[in-house]
Structure 1
């Protein structure tokens, strides 16, 4: 990737990764996205294995972004806006630990930003229930099978808000 040293990565889990990816692709300054899995106990999981709910992985979106064009804090705002962070292991009709809400941080700065962002949201009164989003260290990211990448574009479905 040209200028790759200028880019940073972020990882978000907010339910089915197709909609999450579509939302982040629309953000100016995001240069690449990929869907995959993070936070589980086995290496190189497949979609079918993750769907059993027994691997501990969450459907996760990798966001590669240009911090000169979009801040990590702005990406966090998108994350909070596109899903319900008060539902444990569920987003809409999707139920299971693989659909949990999580921010996987790479650096102490990302951790601090995510914690501060969640605290602001909790204090805002926007939700009547507690926020259950995990803010946890990133582990290995396992890219999902190719048929999951750019799924909406392949199916002719426009961008969507998953909430």
Structure 2
């Protein structure tokens, strides 16, 4: 796992958009294309994110090919995790688990006793995946942002906040 740089924006944006908005394939279970249309993130948005307060960690396979990424940002006593993406061809190989473990280690290294993530309520399989990894629903719900920055919803959507105590 290594930190991404603004120069990584084109390849990271392609990976994130493929993971979140690509067509569902036998290898991919993370697509949101049935819920949202348009790209998940633009190269410009990603370059701005990479110059912000958080860190994008990238996962490379043995040949050096980008296979996943996760964005982490300390927010007070907790670390906020977002944009966890795994290339569809690398899914079901433990890359997501590896990314999550590194995000949790990053939180501990930065003195954050808790880690949080927002997940679409219409993604029960993804909610279940995080719950299997020790994340719990906080009861906090919010409407999906009324902007096209993350895509256009095909239906009303909510984000649920999940947290994990890192003790």
TM over 0.5, yes or no?
A: no
Q: Normalising TM by the smaller chain, what interval?
A: 0.3 to 0.5
TM-score by length of 1: 0.36
Using CA pairs under 8 Å that are at least 6 residues apart, name the structure with larger relative contact order, 1 or 2.
1
